[in-house]
Amino acid sequence: MRWWGWGHDGVSFTHADKPELGPFLRRHLGLDVARVASRPVAFEDLHVPAPSLPAGLAEALGATASTDPLDRVVHARGKSLRDLVRHRRGELGRLPDVVVRPAGEDEVAAIMRAALEADAVLIPFGGGTSISGSLEARPEERRTVISLDLSRLSRVLAVDDVSRLATVQAGALGPDLERQLNAQGWTLGHFPDSFAHSTLGGWIATRSSGMQSDRYGDIGDLTRALRVVTPSGLLVTRPVPSTSTGPSVREMVLGSEGRLGVITEATLHVRRVPQQRTILGYLFPSWDAGLAAMRDIAASEAGVSVSRVSDAGETQFSFATRKRPTILDRLKSKALTTYLQRRRGFDLEAMCLSFIGYEGGRRHVAAQRKLVGRIAGRHGGICIGSSPGALYDQKKFDTPYIRDFLLDRGALADVSETAAPWSRLSAVYDAVMAAARGAFDELGVRGYIMCHLSHSYHAGACLYFTFALMPTGDELAQYDRVKSAIQQAFIDSGATLSHHHAVGTEHAEWLEADISPPGVAMLRALFTGTDPGANLNPGKIV
Ligand SMILES: Cc1cc2nc3c(=O)[nH]c(=O)nc-3n(C[C@H](O)[C@H](O)[C@H](O)COP(=O)(O)OP(=O)(O)OC[C@H]3O[C@@H](n4cnc5c(N)ncnc54)[C@H](O)[C@@H]3O)c2cc1C
């Protein structure tokens, strides 16, 4: 992973093959794609302070202990916008003093013992894709900070074919995990947008959700059992389908962001790789129509794997990122717009793009498509075939690179996501749009906000907002103003502070309003009871 941004060196987002993107960004943000306004400082120019690592602790941490400056910089933070902006400027914050890479659970336990004995801070590190400030040590931390990188624990250990359960080491990155499972005909079905660079342990510790969660569930649903190295020993839960053992310890570990221990293994639901998998595109005449269709699909017997609809703003952005069309594409697109406007009465500015994913046996998929087609039709939607869905599926893991592209050109872009009951979704959407636009106006900056619904459930859904602004002054202060307005609107309109990005430090301010003061008191008691010396990733969540 790049130390200052997303992904691998040599891979980046470009506008060169997307002729409509430049005009779109100029129109909405006043941004000139041809003008690179800022670049990250050179690594050689960073001031990396000397590590504070007592000799006894260094020895106890074992042969993999690394104080290499690049290692320490890469492990210092995640990939939130605030992380990227500060790293690019060379403001490194409180770097870990040492990075360790244990090869197994015994070594994790030995590192935990050494850390506690030396009263050091231990921060588990999966893929480093946290977007909520879950990885950074507190700025005032005076104790030695150890980043425990789980990348060597990357194996699928066993698959129980009868129970459809796989036991997997926590450091497995998404692609490694799927490759190993697919080789045996299985899939976990968990595909967050950060899939390429995030790990099983990180997913569990942040309660992650993948794009196919409608069918497979969130990571909380997929995780049956856990092994966790804690200050008081190895915590082991059993891979039973359900249990009545009091408040769920498994659930306590889910979303614990390294505060209760180091997850070393998990036993997970797996399913057979589906015979058929397809994502179809649909267009709806309005956001309200799209929302209503998603709600009816969730209430139906369709059992789709993806249900997603973008608002008009995001639909226009998606169209603006299309690659240079061929003559045939142009003709098709002209025919489609003529049909939509003349025959269906669509207002192209209000139209909303949707993707519905289908998986399973051929007959099952055919039946699902028929049922969804009827529901979409009832809400004025039309199916536009599989090519937009295939394109979306291919480019979804490339999209994260766009934040670095925009930062290079002086724009800040970020996301905030939430969940609410179906009956409140429209109100949440309206409140967030008003709050963000109010913040742009108050700051006097050009800004853009767009949204999609993803992850549908029986009782509600996730709304995922993406916003961008062209700052005119202190960029992080202006970013904070917009981000806070959005988060506050979530809470004020009855939604949660985050559906799948966790609390970390970014969202901690809204936790008490979300789960009530006694809820926060319970979490505090859990963390201090389990980790009385506050050695495990202190300062996160509460
Ligand atoms: C561009 C982008 C797109 C994203 N898309 C999605 C998405 O679609 N869905 C989604 O859910 N999230 C998404 N995220 C957020 C992020 O990828 C998730 O929070 C992910 O689960 C973090 O996994 P990780 O392995 O990178 O964990 P890290 O970032 O390394 O760690 C996150 C937290 O988990 C703790 N942790 C990590 N491993 C362990 C362990 N083994 N034991 C105990 N604690 C541990 C860390 O201490 C930290 O508190 C996205 C982030 C970015 C930047």
pLDDT at 339: 87
Burial class of residue 201 in the structure, from the number of CB atoms within 10 Å of its CB (0-12 exposed, 13-18 middle, 19+ buried)? buried
Q: pLDDT above 70 covers what percent of the chain? A: 100
Mean pLDDT of 79-104: 97
178 touches 129 (CB < 8 A): no
What is residue 185's three-state secondary structure?
coil
Distance 153 CA to ligand 1 centre (A): 16
Residues taking part in catalysis: 464
75 touches 121 (CB < 8 A): no
pLDDT at 263: 99
20 touches 322 (CB < 8 A): yes
In sequence order, the 6+-apart residues with CB closer than 8 A to the CB of 78 are 128, 129, 130, 131, 132, 133, 134, 135, 136, 504
Q: Reply yes or no on whether the pLDDT at 315 is more than 90.
A: yes
pLDDT at 418: 98
Give the pLDDT band (50/70/90) at residue 84.
very high
Q: Reply yes or no on whether the pLDDT at 345 is more than 80.
A: yes
Q: Reply yes or no on whether the pLDDT at 406 is more than 90.
A: yes
Give the pLDDT band (50/70/90) at residue 329.
confident
Q: What is the mean pLDDT of the chain?
A: 96
Q: Among candidates 20, 89, 524, which has minimal Cα distance to 316?
A: 20
Long-range contacts from 432-438, C-beta under 8 angstroms, 24+ separation: 432/463, 432/465, 432/486, 432/489, 432/490, 432/493, 434/489, 435/485, 435/486, 435/488, 435/489, 436/465, 436/467, 436/482, 436/485, 436/486, 436/489, 438/485
Mean pLDDT of 362-376: 96
Distance 127 CA to ligand 1 centre (A): 7
Distance 415 CA to ligand 1 centre (A): 15
Distance CA 186, CA 204 (A): 20
Mean pLDDT of 195-212: 97
Q: Reply yes or no on whether the pLDDT at 302 is more than 90.
A: yes
Query: Do the strands 98-100 and 145-149 form a parallel or antiparallel pair, or are they unpaired?
Result: parallel
Residue-wise pLDDT tens digits, 1-49: 899 999 888 888 899 989 999 999 999 999 999 999 999 999 999 999 9
State if residue 539 touches ligand 1 by the CB under 6 angstroms criterion: no
State if residue 263 touches ligand 1 by the CB under 6 angstroms criterion: yes
| Partners of 149 in beta bridges | 125
More confident residue, 89 or 400: 89
Distance CA 101, CA 478 (A): 38
Pocket test for ligand 1, best of 13, 198, 397, 541 (most atoms within 8 A of CB): 198
State if residue 360 touches ligand 1 by the CB under 6 angstroms criterion: no
Give the pLDDT band (50/70/90) at residue 108.
very high
- What are the backbone angles phi and psi of residue 135, rounded to the nearest 5°? -115, -20
State if residue 398 touches ligand 1 by the CB under 6 angstroms criterion: no
Q: Whose CA is nearest to atom 23 of ligand 1?
A: 202
Q: Reply yes or no on whether the pLDDT at 326 is more than 80.
A: no
pLDDT at 257: 98
Distance CA 440, CA 451 (A): 16
Range with the poorest average pLDDT among 9-13, 152-156, 180-184, 417-421: 9-13
Q: Among candidates 164, 147, 159, which has minimal Cα distance to 99?
A: 147
Pocket test for ligand 1, best of 148, 208, 452 (most atoms within 8 A of CB): 208
State if residue 417 touches ligand 1 by the CB under 6 angstroms criterion: no
**DSSP element (H, E) containing 111:** helix 105-117
Q: Whose CA is nearest to atom 21 of ligand 1?
A: 203
Reading the block at residue 324, the tokens are 């240079």
Give the pLDDT band (50/70/90) at residue 98.
very high
Q: Reply yes or no on whether the pLDDT at 304 is more than 90.
A: yes
Range with the poorest average pLDDT among 167-176, 395-404, 476-485: 395-404
DSSP 44-62: GG---PPP---HHHHHHH-
Give the pLDDT band (50/70/90) at residue 494.
very high
pLDDT at 38: 92
pLDDT at 387: 84
Q: Reply yes or no on whether the pLDDT at 535 is more than 80.
A: yes
DSSP 431-481: HHHHHHHHHHHHHT-EEEEEEEEEEE-SSEEEEEEEEEEE-SS-HHHHHHH
pLDDT at 384: 92
State if residue 209 touches ligand 1 by the CB under 6 angstroms criterion: yes
Pocket test for ligand 1, best of 129, 203, 540 (most atoms within 8 A of CB): 129
Mean pLDDT of 163-192: 98
- Using CA of residue 511, residue 513, residue 517, residue 522, what is the dihedral sign? negative
Give the pLDDT band (50/70/90) at residue 341.
confident
Q: Which atom of ligand 1 is nearest to the CA of 80?
A: 53
Q: Reply yes or no on whether the pLDDT at 139 is more than 90.
A: yes
What is residue 536's three-state secondary structure?
strand
Residue-wise pLDDT tens digits, 445-462: 999 999 999 999 999 999
Residue-wise pLDDT tens digits, 413-449: 999 999 999 999 999 999 999 999 999 999 999 999 9
Distance CA 221, CA 503 (A): 19
